[in-house]
Amino acid sequence: MRTPFIFMLLGACGGASPTVAAPEPTPHVQPLQPDFVPPEKLDEINSTFNMKRPIAARCYSDAVRLSPLFKTAEGRISLALEITADGKPENVRVTESSLKSEVVERCVIDAVANWHLPAPGQKIDFSFSYDFEPE
């Protein structure tokens, strides 16, 4: 006789589960991409490097005039640097040079390191190249 009582007890426990209110939906907010710099800002930084090209050219012409560089020397200096969120150049370095002139390379590095660049809003890696050829 105990068996029917156990089935009744199990039947009573196995009923419908209590209703739980669904949680309120939270709006999905897309976070800003931490590595995204608007193309317009990168164009602005590139334009600044182009506008300052005469400063790099002066490094070259001074080296030719002072004779550590031959008058026929030509080549390219590629720079890499970090630009802080507020536009300060850091860790400016030559990554490649076909000009092979430490005097010109050092002059360009020193010049770029002292520039104030357009603020990208976050720290970014940046590269730029200057071409040098005799006048």
pLDDT of residue 58: 97
How far apart are the C-alpha atoms of 9 and 22, rounded to whole Å?
30
Number of domains in the chain: 1
Q: Distance from CA of residue 12 to its chain's centroid?
A: 64
Q: The domain spanning residue 50 has which CATH number? A: 3.30.2420.10
- State the residue range of the domain holding 61: 38-132
Task: Give pLDDT, residue 129.
Answer: 97
Identify whether 105 is part of a domain. Answer: yes
Q: What angle do CA 44, 50, 54 make, to 5 degrees?
A: 145
For residue 94 the two structure tokens come to 């030559």
Is residue 30, in this structure, part of any structural domain at all?
A: no
From CA 64, how far away is CA 113, in angstroms rounded?
Answer: 22
Q: Is the Cβ–Cβ distance between 84 and 116 less than 8 Å?
A: no
Look at residues 10, 62, 54, 44 and name the one whose alpha carbon lies nearest to residue 121.
Answer: 44
Would you give per-residue pLDDT tens digits along the chain (135 residues)?
Answer: 555 544 444 444 455 555 555 445 444 434 445 568 899 999 999 999 999 999 999 999 999 999 888 999 999 999 999 999 999 999 999 999 999 999 999 999 999 999 999 999 999 999 999 999 998
Residue 127 tokens read as 């590269």
